[in-house]
Amino acid sequence: MTAIGGALDRPRSAPDEWDPQAAAEDLERLRREVADLDSVVVAFSGGADSALLAAVCHQALGDRALAITAVSPSLAASELADCERLTSEWGMRWEIVQTDEMESAAYRRNDPDRCFHCKSALMDAVAPLSEQFGSVVALGVNLDDLDDHRPGQRAARERGAVFPLVEAGLTKDQVRACSRLLGLETWDKPAAACLASRVPHGTEVSVELLSRIERAEAALVELGASDLRVRHHGDVARIEVPSAAFDRVIADRERIVSTLRTLGYRYVTLDLEGFRSGSMNPPGSRG
């Protein structure tokens, strides 16, 4: 087994309700799934799911595992930096690919199937590497994701991608438990969907808009909230943070309002329902 250095050598302490034995059994199932792949290209976004998948693929397959990160205006610069740093710490092969979803009118139109066009662009960009190495493309999709509105999953499966976390029967909580067992710093990383997920369906996506949202969220990072989103609604910026962070937003409201107005927002609001992953999804879908 290929060793991974850095944070992987230092498992974090676990709460009383955490079951390391169950996590070890889950992790072993995932290792068996990965070992059967022989050679793999992992779509690595830096989130908890893809980080666990990439790390286990590196452990099990060594140089027969390649992590790739798709770069486009919908990926925040901080996420790209995390991908580079983590793979460097692990000693894992890593490359970036440029995706061209912004060239697609169907993607820019931003209907509820936007993610289908995004994942299609990803598979187009990854295909040459997959063919070069005779590898299967693996995505960090977990069991919980199957219940959400994720048209990108369909695009990936239609192009031959595999979902080892699903095959191993891992939910999001189990992914985090396995990651904690390995000592991965991403075990408790908040979900970080692409920047386009902050834009309501039907509002056209543009490079300029995604850049504005990225800068708006960067202005809120110092609040220390574990999860945050700035949802774009024309001249309104709707801030989502966990309810426990409301006081920090209110206390820093003058700076936040000033910064977001500089970015072009006329109104700055705090969503009293708090942070909700997938709150822009179509009615009736999970999140």
| Bridge partners (DSSP) listed for residue 233 | 236
- Residues 6 or more apart whose CB falls under 8 angstroms from that of 165 comprise 30, 49, 52, 53, 140, 141, 142, 143, 175
Check residue 148 and give its pLDDT: 67
From 285, 67, 107, select the one nearest 210 (Cα to Cα): 107
Query: Nearest 10 degrees: CA dihedral of 83, 75, 52, 163?
Result: -140
Name residues of the chain where pLDDT drops below 50: 1-16, 284-287
How many angstroms separate the CA atoms of 159 and 15, rounded? 40
Location of structure tokens 């574990």? 226
Check residue 126 and give its pLDDT: 92
Q: What is the DSSP letter of 204?
A: P
SS3 162: strand
From 221, 268, 263, select the one nearest 245 (Cα to Cα): 221
- Residues 6 or more apart whose CB falls under 8 angstroms from that of 27 comprise 56, 178, 181, 182
How many angstroms separate the CA atoms of 218 and 76, rounded? 10
How many angstroms separate the CA atoms of 4 and 153, rounded? 29
**Is 165 in contact with 159 (CB distance < 8 Å)?**
no
Residues in the chain: 287
Q: What's the per-residue H, E or C state across 18-75?
A: CCHHHHHHHHHHHHHHHHCCCCEEEECCCCHHHHHHHHHHHHHHHHHEEEEEEECCCC
Q: What is the DSSP string of 244-272?
A: GGHHHHHHTHHHHHHHHHHTT-SEEEE-T
**Is 129 in contact with 90 (CB distance < 8 Å)?**
no
Task: Please state, in angstroms and as integers, the Cα–Cα distance from residue 104 to each residue in 50, 88, 99, 116, 213, following that order.
Answer: 25, 33, 11, 11, 20
Q: Whole-model pTM?
A: 0.86
How many angstroms separate the CA atoms of 55 and 4, rounded? 8
Check residue 279 and give its pLDDT: 65
- Residues 6 or more apart whose CB falls under 8 angstroms from that of 262 comprise none
Check residue 219 and give its pLDDT: 86
Domains of the chain: 6-188 (3.40.50.620), 195-270 (3.30.300)
**Is 41 in contact with 68 (CB distance < 8 Å)?**
yes
Q: In this prediction, what percent of the chain has a pLDDT beyond 90?
A: 74
**Is 41 in contact with 135 (CB distance < 8 Å)?**
yes
